Structure formats: structure tokens, C-alpha cells
Chain A
Amino acid sequence: MKKNFKTLAVGLVVALSLSACASNTPNDNSSNQSSKQPSNQASNNAETDVAVNPLEKFPEPIEVAIGRGIDPTYKYEGEDTAENNLYTRWLKDSYNIVIKHEWEAATADYAQKISLAIGSNDLPDAMLVNETQLRQMVKADQLADLTEVYNKFGAGRLKQIYQSNAGLLEGVTFDGKLYALPETTLPSAPMTWIRKDWLDKLGLEAPKTLEGLEKIAKAFIDNKMGGDKTLGIVGTQQGGSLYSTFLSSGDHFMNFSPVFFSNNAYPGIWVKDKDGNAVYGSTTAETKESLVKLRDWYASGILDKEIGLRKSTQEVITSGQAGIFFGPWWTPYNLTDSMKNDPNANWRPYTAPVDESGKFNSNQTTGSSYIVVKKSYKHPEAVVKMLNIHVSEKEESYKTAVGKELTSQEIPLFLIMGHGDQLEYAVKSTQKVLTGEMKLEEVDKLNYGFAYELASHVKNVKTEPFDNYDIQYWDQQKDPDFFTHLYSHLNGGSTFVDADINYVKSLATAQTKTMQTKWTNLKKIEDETFLKIIMGSAPIEEFDAFVEKWNDQGGDQITKEVNELK
């Protein structure tokens, strides 16, 4: 399961996805869509579906028994649960859709539950699956063909969203049959987060390049900024990945992707080599160079010695031992503990390190979550309708419709649906309302509900100067609910949307045929080798042995298949 945003933070409310849904402007269809495509004119989604109102209440209650991944630590309102909460009751009252949990599992065990369900052919009516699971189910003929239901019951808005994301539906169409409803993606790139209060204390400049970053880390350690046990750059924790991959493209929090990107290396995804052929990023010379760099860093103590082993990297951030890590714009949602511990901890994002030519690179996020429906389920239209509802509640925020801002923990079959520009709109409009360039009423409440919410709270939490997002210019107490939202959007979000990012998209965004049997093994060799190289327990020459082995054990065949995809 790789729902990029699904649980990114308990506090990151659906509002975000709401704003995602809110933009109904068809995006530019070019494959390299960036987050900053200017919106085309807003088109009203009055598409005509013959005689079917996609948002109509069912005459009779219809039960949807789903399998659901949950966060066991999430605190619901009062006696509410994942199965019975404000949203599910609202679904029932307003639409006669009754959500039942066939089973639920904590995120870490969700994959196991799904495999069990698939293997025993004991499926819930609908659930969220990943690419591999989807293909397995298609192969086993376990899924309902949604083509007709989607055409007939899909809301105009839903269809627009899919149409604007080129190739999304084609990716889940097998032999002309639509077998899943895929997730869209939000743009993301990993930036470098640094304790600016430490930088200032040492009189250091913001980093630009890898070398600059290295100097800062060294200065932090030498000057014991975080006490005797100051750590340089921290990241990947136990079980985590060193970098995002084509199957987890949005995995930008707390790993080392930027070190690779700044070397023009894209491990974990498929890129074009100089002849235009597909090549697996992890096998390139650039990746090797990056590993050498990480290895040096590790040996000299700049990198946390316990990468890949820490149970929680968050812990060393919270306790103030570390001042540098990599993360996407929404990182501040996960920094609340750190700020609680030290209200002066001034975490700021930097679009660094850049590559030799000064470009800031990132891989491009691609969706990897799918709603599937069991073949024998009698009411697949109910599932389509749930998604209709999810993307269409734009006139009012969930707060007014349901009574509370909701998260993926309340909304069953939660997918991120929408286009790329809502973050930019939210950031820009909030900035403008703050400085008075724009009146609150001018914010497009209809299409960007959450931007409006942000803008209406911004004056409670941001103090002057308005264009300086250092922590001392915020009021953390006055409106704590919205502080985290606004702090994330303005501190993280503004840096991100203003950045000039060179996105590289993986040629393959899903598993090919051979990958289904060989990928686990190949990934295992890769993870093992890279970690060993970095930690110095294997020589760097091991990399070449890895490439050879990788090609031998199926990599060649897989690369061929990816080449056919282009």
C-alpha cells in the first residue's frame, strides 16, 4: 500500500484532498505535467448522464463491506470508530450507503490481510490495493468489470479528473475492461530541512550544493548544536527505504533521495539513458557515485550511524539531537513534537542540494493506490457513487456538510483525487490575503474550499513580517488547529511551489510481467547491497557485482519489458 498522503499525518485533514477535489480544471495532458500549469478556465461539470443522477440517494440502504487499513493510534471523536463515525453516518443518512468493515488491519499488517483475502478468495466487496495486488486479482479473475458502471454512474466531475490525468484509466484497463478506480497524485519533492536557528547561531549560509550541506552538518556536529550526541544528517529508519521508488514515488519523507537527485541519479525508478533506452536508475554510474558520497559521509560521521536501524528517526528530531533531514513540503505536520519540545526550533526548508548545473531535481510522483470491487458484488455502482461523493462535495467543506474536518481515517476507500494546482493556489491566496493584496471574499471558495479555510485563519497565526516564515514570527497558541496547517503550507508549501524543480518521471509506474515473480528478489539484493555499501561493510566494488547479478536474475528481461512500455 502506498497511499502517498493517506496517513501522512494525523492532522493532515481531508481538507487537503478536498481542495484537491475542488479543482475541476482539466490539466494539460503532457506527460510532464508540473504543479504550476496555469489553470484553464473553470468548466462547470454539467455533463449529461442519461437519466442517472450520480449523486442521488439510493432508495434502499445498500451495504458495502470493505477491507480497510486503519491507524490504531488515531483518536476519533467520542465513541466513533473507523467503521462508525461522522462521515459514515452521513453517508448512510444522505445516500443510503451503509459501510461495513469486513475486516480492518493496521497499516503494517494491511498487505498481509489483502494477500490472505486474495489467496483464499475471501474478498470484501471493495478495498484499496496496490499495483501488484491488482494484477494478481485481475489474473485470478476476481474483480468486477467496472466499465459499464463507471460510464453510467460516474459523476461528470470524476470523469473529468480521470480524463485530465492521461493514461490513468488505461493503466487499469485489461482486455478492454476497467478493473479499478485509480488514485491521482499530488506533486511532491524532497527538500532539505535545517534548523535555521542553528545556522544563524553559527553564522552559516543556507546550503546550495552537497558540499555546502556537508559543511553545515559538520559544523553542527563540531559545535555540538544538539548536545554531546549531535547527529549530522538523519533519515531512513528501520524498515524504511533509502529513496523513493517507482512503486512509492511519493515517499519523500526522511530518506536520502535528494543526495541521489543532486548527482542526477534516480535509483528506484526507470529513466532514459543517453541513447534513450530505458535503464533502471539503481544500476547507473551516477547512483554508484552517490553511494560513494553517502559512504564517505557515513564513515566521517556526517550521516547518522544508525540509518536503517533506528526505530524512529522522529525521536532524534524531537529530542533536538539532529538539525538536518530531507522531507517534502508537508513535513511540518510531523514537526509538532519537535516544536513542543523546543519552541525555538526553527525548521526551514531549502531547495538544495542542486546538481552541477544548478538544477534542483526530483522524481515525479505517480499514484499507486486502487479501489477494486469484488466480482460477485451486486452493487458496484455504490462504490462508484462513494467516489462521486468524495470528489463532488465542493460547495461546502466537510466541516459544514458533516460537522468536522475529516481525514482518511474517517473516509472509507479514501483516495487522493484531483489536479496539481490546488497547493499553489492555497499558498498564493493565503499569502495575498495575509498581506492584504487580496480580500478573503476573493478566494475561490467554490473550487478551493480549503484555501479559503486557510486564508480565513491565517491572520490568527502569522505575525509580521509576513514574508518571513521563521518560527519566531508565528503565534503558535492562538489558533493551534490551524497553526500546523498554515505553518506547513506557508513554511513548507511556499518554498515548494516557488521552487523551480526538474521532475523526472519513471518510465514504468507499475510492475511488469516479469517483475511479478522476480522483483522481490531483485529489490532485496538492491536494498541489501546499498545499505552495506553505505555502512562500509561491503566495498564499493560490490556495486558492479550487484549490477551484474541484477541483470542476470531477471533485470535484463524486466528492462526489456519497460523499454516496450515507452
Chain B
Amino acid sequence: MLNRGIYKHYYLMLLPGLLWLAFFNLLPMYGVLMAFKDFNPGLGIFKSEWIGLENFKYMFELDDSKQVFQNTIFIALLKMIGNLIFPLIFALMLNEVKNRLFTRSVQTIVYLPHFLSWVIVAGIMLDILSYSGPINQILSLFGVEPTLFFANANMFPWLVVFSDIWKEFGFAAIIYFAALTSINPEMYEAAAIDGASQFKRLTSITLPSILPVAVLLGTLSLGNILNAGFDQIFNLYNPSVYSTGDIIDTWVYRAGLLDMQYGLATAVGLLKSVVGLVLISVSYGLAYRFANYRIF
């Protein structure tokens, strides 16, 4: 047991951070009251009329909100899966290459998109995928009719997902690289001596040792199921793809700020936070129970 006097030092260390938290996270949180009020800006949040769950009721009556929740989960789920699998495959592929210079250069380059903002990536994408943009020009060489990628509601979620994977797979692969390098090389040597093929070594050594990492990462990303990426979609969408591309965050932004339905928007946002908290608790529990790993 440690000396209790040490607590004072611990608190002192926590103080600056907790102050930051208090002023910039906790203080504005009184705003959640708006979800239960008929917010009148002239009266302010506290004096506005209390209407209980009216805003929530209205939210569930709106066709919009169901759609928006569905879109969010669909996009977020695909992103989660894609961002688990693609980096894994990529890491495995790169792991098979033994030329250090090659692997290092490839790694450096694939990290690059992670450092670009969505403002920029969206701008570039809209250009490249435009009707007369390079992608359509290449397709037309193969006799494919040019398509309007960003006007196609069926295609939009996939574009969102793939552009997200494009942006993040390299960076996400970092953890897999690390896990791969931590595999004991003696295992490979032994397998090679036993005459196991390259493929066999992959399935019987590499995959099993990396799988727990993948499962853990998957569990950890559960908390993001309602985060489909505001910055990305905000910069990419247009009315013709609202049906599949409008997500909670973009909807809340439009309803809450531009259309001044403050209470409704706060209610939707609050629901999202609650779901997020539940999911994080679940993933915390799962990770602890099955991997004996504490996320935080």
C-alpha cells in the first residue's frame, strides 16, 4: 500500500487537466436541458418552458430521424469492418515482402492520407470523381459510360466508406505491423524446416497470432457505431444523397443550427451520446472479460 500523502501530489497533477475539463467540457453541458424544454432564446435555457419528453416523442414521429439513425449505423458499421479488415490484409501483404527499403517507403506513403483534412480530401475526391474527372475518363477507355458518383444515393455510402478506408487504412495498419514484428521468428524458422509452404505459414502462424489484436480492436471500435464521420459527410453530401448519406451529426447540425430547432437537435444528440456510453461500457466489459484487457 502506498502512502496516502501521495494522493495530494496525484490531485495536483490532475488539477490542470480537470480544470480544462470543467470549463470546456462540463460547463457547456447544461445545454442538454434544452432537450427537455421548449427552448426560447429570449428567455434562455433555464427559464424556457419544461416540456418533458416532447422533443423525444417528436423525434420518433419524424420519418427523418429513423432514416438518419439507419444511415449512421450502416455507414459506421461498414467503416468499422473495413477499417479492421483492410489494414489487416495490407499488413499481411507487406509482411511477406522482405526488402526493408521497399516496406519502409510503402509504409511512409500509405500514412500520408491520414494527415489530410476532410476539407481537402473531399475537395480532391469531388474533383477526381466528377463527370469529366480522371476516374470517368479511365472508365470510358474501357467503354464504361461515365457515371456521377456523388449523385448516386446507392453508391454514396460506399464512397464514404471507401474514402474513409483509403484515408485511414495505412495508419490503422500500424498496430498490425507491430503485432507482426512481435511474432517470434523462431516459429517461422521451425515451420520452414518442417517444410511448411509460405501460405501454410501464413495461416497457421501469422494469422492466429494476429487475430486477438484484430478482435480487440474490433471490440474497441464498438463505441463508434454512431459516429459516421461529420467532417467527411458534411463536405461530401448533397440533397440527392440525403436518403442514404444524411447522418445524425449532419442532421443535428442542420436542424439545430440552421433551422433553429434547438430542442429537437439536442434531443437527438443526447440520445446519440447515451447510446455511445452504453456501447463503450459494453466494449469495456467485453475487452476485460475476454482479453483481460482494460481499455482505460
Contacts and interface: CB of A to CB of B under 8 A. Distances in A.
Which of the four size classes fits the interface of chain B?
20 to 34
B243 interface: yes
B255 interface: yes
Contacts of B40: 139-141
A133 B260 CA distance: 8
A527 B257 contact: no
Interface string B149-170: 0111110000000000000000
B63 interface: yes
Nearest to A305: B131
A532 interface: yes
Interface stretch (A43-51, A99-107, A110-118): A110-118
B231 interface: no
B255 A535 contact: no
A239 interface: yes
Interface in B28-45: 39-44
B262 A119 contact: yes
Contacts of A521: 62-64
B130 interface: yes
B64 A121 contact: no
A136 interface: yes
A532 B258 contact: no
A306 B148 CA distance: 7
B151 A309 contact: yes
A120 B243 contact: no
Given A133-B260, A306-B130, A537-B153, A121 B44 contact: yes
Interface in A450-505: none
A115 B259 CA distance: 8
A308 interface: yes
B242 A118 contact: no
B42 A121 contact: yes
Interface in B240-271: 240, 242-243, 254-255, 257-262
B131 A528 contact: no
B238 interface: yes
Contact of A121 (B41, B148, B153): B41
Given A115-B260, A140-B40, A305-B131, A537 B242 contact: no
Contact of A517 (B132, B150, B261): B261
Which of the four size classes fits the interface of chain A?
35 or more
Given A305-B146, A532-B153, A553-B63, A527 B258 contact: no
Contact of B239 (A120, A229, A527): A527
Nearest to A136: B260
Contact of A309 (B62, B63, B148, B255): B148
A118 B132 CA distance: 43
Interface in A108-146: 111-112, 115-116, 118-121, 132-133, 136, 139-142
A141 B239 CA distance: 33
A97 B239 CA distance: 43
Given A133-B260, A520-B254, A140 B148 contact: no
Nearest to A139: B40
B126 interface: yes
A535 B242 contact: no
A238 interface: yes
Contacts of B257: 112, 115-116, 119
B255 A520 contact: yes
Nearest to A113: B257
A311 interface: yes
Interface in B55-92: 62-64
Nearest to A316: B132
A510 interface: no
B291 to A, nearest CB: 44
Nearest to A242: B239
B146 A118 contact: no
A531 interface: yes
A520 B63 CA distance: 13
Contacts of B258: 111-112, 115
A111 B258 CA distance: 6
A44 B260 CA distance: 44
Given A136-B260, A305-B131, A308-B151, A532 B41 contact: no
A141 B41 CA distance: 9
B153 A140 contact: no
B224 to A, nearest CB: 26
A566 interface: no
B42 A142 contact: yes
A201 interface: no
B259 A140 contact: no
B200 to A, nearest CB: 48
B238 A132 contact: no
A240 B40 CA distance: 31
B240 A532 contact: yes
A141 B48 CA distance: 13
Contacts of B43: 140
B240 A535 contact: yes
B34 to A, nearest CB: 9
Contacts of B130: 306, 309-310
A306 B44 CA distance: 45
Given A521-B62, A535-B148, A119 B239 contact: no
A306 B131 contact: yes
Question: Which of B43, B132, B262 is most buried by chain A, counting CB atoms within 10 A of its CB?
Answer: B132
Contacts of A274: none
Contacts of A531: 151, 239-240
Nearest to B39: A119
Given A142-B41, A528-B242, A537 B260 contact: no
Interface in B115-155: 126, 130-132, 146, 148, 150-154
Interface of A: 111-112, 115-116, 118-121, 132-133, 136, 139-142, 229, 238-239, 305-306, 308-311, 517, 520-521, 524, 527-528, 531-532, 535, 537, 553
Interface of B: 39-44, 62-64, 126, 130-132, 146, 148, 150-154, 238-240, 242-243, 254-255, 257-262
Q: Which 9 interchain pairs have the tightest Cβ spacing?
A: A140-B42, A527-B239, A531-B240, A306-B131, A141-B42, A140-B41, A520-B259, A115-B257, A121-B41
Given A306-B132, A528-B239, 6 more contacts: A119-B262, A140-B41, A238-B238, A532-B240, A535-B151, A537-B154
